[in-house]
Amino acid sequence: MATLTQSGIGAPPPTVPDLPTGGGGGDDHGGPERGNTRNASITGIVVLMCASTMTFGAMVSAMVVRRGLSNDWHTLPLPGILWWNTAVLILSSIVIDTARRLLRRNKRMYFNTLWTAGTIMGAAFLAGQAVAWKQLEARGFYLQGNPSSAFFYVLTWAHAAHVVGALAAVIYVEFRALRYELGPSRRTWVDVAALFWHFLDVLWLGIMGLFAYWA
Amino acid sequence: MRLFSTDHRTIARQYFFLSLAAVLAGVALSLLMRFHLVWPHASVGWFEKLWPVKAVGGVMTPELYLSLLTLHGTLMVFFVLTLAPMNAFANLVLPEQLGAKGMAFPRLNMLSFWIALASFVILIGSFLVADGGPLSGWTAYPPLSAVGAIAGPGEGLGQTLWFFSIGAFSISSMLTAINIIATVIDMRAPEMPLSKIPLTCWNWFATAILSLLSFPVLLAAGLLILLDRLAGTSFFVPEGLLIADAKIAHSGGSPLLWQHLFWFFGHPEVYIAILPGMGIISQVISNFARKPVFGRTAMIVSTFAIAFLGLLVWGHHMFISGLNPYSAIAFSALTMSIGVPSAVKTFNWIATAWGGGLEFTTAMLFALGFVSIFVTGGLSGIVLGQPQLDAYFHDTYFVVAHFHLIMGIAALFGIFAATSYWFPLMFGRVMDERLGKLHFYLTFVLSYTTFGPMHFAGFAGSPRRYADFTTFDFLAPLMPIQRWITWSAFALAAAQAIFLYNLFHSMRRGKLAPANPWKSESPEWTRDTEIWQR
């Protein structure tokens, strides 16, 4: 509820004195009741994650029904690069979360380095996905083909669209971090972006598990 | 009023006027449909001017009728019943009722509105394309909605645009839901714990949760069907389908899958339309009975019970689609159990009014009218919730009567009550009470005389969605009922001119509103005086 959360209260003093403090207000928008916009942002992103889960849930249940409907389902041979992409995505999540924790302890230089690394890994994941789609196409698995490949493309495209959105948020944080505008008491965007990034991991593991072990 | 505003009250008025535009268009379409049903061969000069291809000689073709039906349903369900009760009125008063400074995400709020407006423009555009508007109704059942222009004129580009419009609308609704949920949870004033927030807020909260859970499913289904249409996939198109003597190249999909996904959204949508109205009339009845709401906790619990059960009953729209009879029993039992929380609410509304110092303002009359219409429309829901009876009634006017009363008219009564009640907060003036009451009495009586006889037409087997009854001998004895319905619908529409005059006249010339015209104790009237200085 409306408490003045972490609005610079109890934050350790900045270790690099000649940089802007990155502290002060709870967030960069809202009037005097600033503290609760941070909570609202966290609630908002959690609620958005529920909505995304419903979208993917609808597609996956369509897939389950479609597979049980007739006997034309062929298992899709997954390109090996998908496992590398999975590893990169999980690693990026670990890196981004480590960065987030470091920012809370006001280690802003380390935060910037790690967040940049996480951003690059996120972009690498997308590039890897594009390679996987190309490989599948080269082997003759198209969207219009077997329902298994149709659902694979739809689910991975929808996931990639989410990654693009999340990456935009991560890059926005990156942009502000490099100008040292973020700090222990100015990190709502960081937490929100990191939370959504982890959600994309979970979503991806679900999709990957489905196609590797079920479909 | 700034056009691109993040102010929640401005956005509220923008939604209000968008809904108003949609409802005017929707009513006009329904009158055209009612005219055609009764005089299908009449030649009207300006029909031909409007639709040179689809009304040659001034006589509407069945395709034109179906496209009017589709636009009417889509406008009313999405742009009137979804936008007005929640987006317009929650934006208007929710922050004040919670003691918040504003909505949690003002820019997101603005974005929601502009996406909704874009969706509206695309929808209207889908009816202006060269081939004419889509024919698939607001439920857009495949396979005909999924195979493109071969399924009929308007099923090409028009139907594609329709799906894009609905996709955009889903995104807009999700964003609004996120905003309302975050506002209720995190933006309340410290002296406003959840245990104290007004019932309206609880209902908008429950509605937002329903939006959040159901619109993403519609979005997913819409994406899949767009791929069927544009990219040649076969999610919803079965093997070996013949349309217009041509074999469709798709294979192995299932039209039933669409029905499941669509109604998983579509049934909660009914509650998205009606729950805000229930909250509004609870406040209005309590206000004008000068009594607190009877059984406040029961009201909150029943709201969430309705919302929860509403998510589990989509199958009752599919009883005649070849649903497994055993699952039909489960869907039927769950459907009828919604009667329990609905009855709790009805009892509480009556008990709230009972023994109070009733003041029959326009808002109060519409609130009481809501209870009446809600009970009438709800009772036919119990009938339709039984698979055996639905097998007969499903494709008849009985269903048309049912959903127009429970979802259309009841929700509209909630909107009318809210408009009259919160008009001072929107425009700083009060609406004319005498005109308001006249509008209520005419609307109340004419709603029953329009939609009541549809039950009888349905009993007698009058099928819905037909463009022309005169070609079937067995429907000839029912033509007097249909004629009566048409005349009554014309009168009902004419009565709305009183509302429109009252609205626009009061907006500029109405009596200036005193600070708390209804002597309410609700925070939006007592807390904030800043708005009166604008």
- Chain A residues in contact with B179 (beta carbon < 8 A): 44
Reported confidence tier of residue B384, pLDDT bands at 50, 70, 90: very high
Q: Which of A29-38, B263-272, B465-474 has the lowest mean pLDDT?
A: A29-38
Where is pLDDT greater, at A50 or A14?
A: A50
> Which residue of B179, B215, B227 is in closest CB contact with A154?
B227
- In percent, the amount of chain A with pLDDT more than 90 equals 72
B493 three-state secondary structure: helix
Judge whether residue A31 has pLDDT over 50. Answer: no
Report, as an integer, the average pLDDT of A132-161.
94
> Alpha-carbon distance A72 to B250, whole Å?
13
Report, as an integer, the average pLDDT of A164-174.
95
Reported confidence tier of residue B528, pLDDT bands at 50, 70, 90: low
Options 3.30.43.10, 1.10.287.990, 1.20.210.10, 3.90.950.10; CATH for B8-238+249-533 is 1.20.210.10
B246 three-state secondary structure: strand
Q: At A205, which amino acid appears?
A: L
Give the pLDDT score at B1: 67
Report, as an integer, the average pLDDT of B159-174.
98
Chain segment A52-110, per-residue pLDDT in tens? 999 999 999 999 998 888 788 899 999 999 999 999 999 999 999 999 999 999 999 99
Report, as an integer, the average pLDDT of A162-178.
95
Please, are residues A197 and A92 in contact by the beta-carbon 8 Å criterion?
Answer: yes
Q: Which of A12-21, B200-209, B403-412 has the lowest mean pLDDT?
A: A12-21
Across the interface, whether the CB atoms of B178 and A48 are under 8 A apart is answered yes
- Chain A residues in contact with B178 (beta carbon < 8 A): 44, 47-48, 51
> Alpha-carbon distance B348 to B509, whole Å?
38
> Alpha-carbon distance B42 to B173, whole Å?
41
The residue of chain B with its CA nearest to that of A38 is B186
Reported confidence tier of residue B53, pLDDT bands at 50, 70, 90: confident
State the maximum Cα–Cα separation within chain B, in Å, rounded to a whole number.
69
C-beta neighbour count of B354 within 10 angstroms: 11
A138 touches chain B (CB under 8 A): no
Q: At B231, which amino acid appears?
A: A
pTM over 0.90: yes
> Six-digit token pair at B327?
């699952």
> Six-digit token pair at B289?
């009975």
What lies within 8 Å, CB to CB, of B202 at 6+ separation is B279, B299, B300, B303
Give the pLDDT score at A72: 84
Give the pLDDT score at B492: 98
Judge whether residue B499 has pLDDT over 60. Answer: yes
Q: What is the CA radius of gyration of chain A?
A: 20
> Which residue of B185, B220, B252 is in closest CB contact with A55?
B220
Nearest to B368 by CA among B378, B358, B355: B358
> Which residue of B179, B181, B233 is in closest CB contact with A143?
B233
- Chain B residues in contact with A69 (beta carbon < 8 A): 252, 254
Q: Is B35 exposed, middle or buried (0-12, 13-18, 19+ CB in 10 A)?
A: middle
Q: Which of A5-9, A163-167, B73-77 has the lowest mean pLDDT?
A: A5-9
Q: How does the average pLDDT of chain A come out, rounded? A: 85
A144 touches chain B (CB under 8 A): yes
What lies within 8 Å, CB to CB, of A17 at 6+ separation is none
Report, as an integer, the average pLDDT of A117-124.
97
φ, ψ of residue B463 to 5 degrees: the values are -80, 145
- Chain B residues in contact with A67 (beta carbon < 8 A): none
Where is pLDDT greater, at B521 or A70?
A: B521
3-state SS track over B360-410? CCHHHHHHHHHHHHHHHHHHHHHHHCCHHHHHHHCCEHHHHHHHHHHHHHH
Give the pLDDT score at A53: 97
Q: Kindly compute the dihedral angle of the four CA atoms of residues B244, B247, B248, B253, in this order, to the nearest 10 degrees.
A: 110
- In percent, the amount of chain B with pLDDT more than 90 equals 90
Chain segment B102-135, per-residue pLDDT in tens? 999 999 999 999 999 999 999 999 999 988 899 9
> Alpha-carbon distance B5 to B110, whole Å?
7
Min Cα–Cα distance to chain A from B182, Å:
5
Reported confidence tier of residue A28, pLDDT bands at 50, 70, 90: very low
Give the pLDDT score at A90: 97
Chain segment A35-59, per-residue pLDDT in tens? 378 999 999 999 999 999 999 999 9
Please, are residues B203 and B275 in contact by the beta-carbon 8 Å criterion?
Answer: yes
> Which residue of B182, B193, B227 is in closest CB contact with A40?
B182
> Which residue of A31, A44, A54 is in closest CB contact with B213?
A54
Q: Which of residues 156-195 of B touch A (CB under 8 A)?
A: 174, 177-179, 181-183, 185-190, 193
Reported confidence tier of residue B239, pLDDT bands at 50, 70, 90: confident
Judge whether residue B247 has pLDDT over 60. Answer: yes
Judge whether residue A19 has pLDDT over 80. Answer: no
B311 touches chain A (CB under 8 A): no
Chain segment B262-277, per-residue pLDDT in tens? 999 999 999 999 999 9
Report, as an integer, the average pLDDT of B458-470.
94
Q: How does the average pLDDT of chain B come out, rounded? A: 95
Q: Where are the domains positioned within chain B?
A: 8-238+249-533
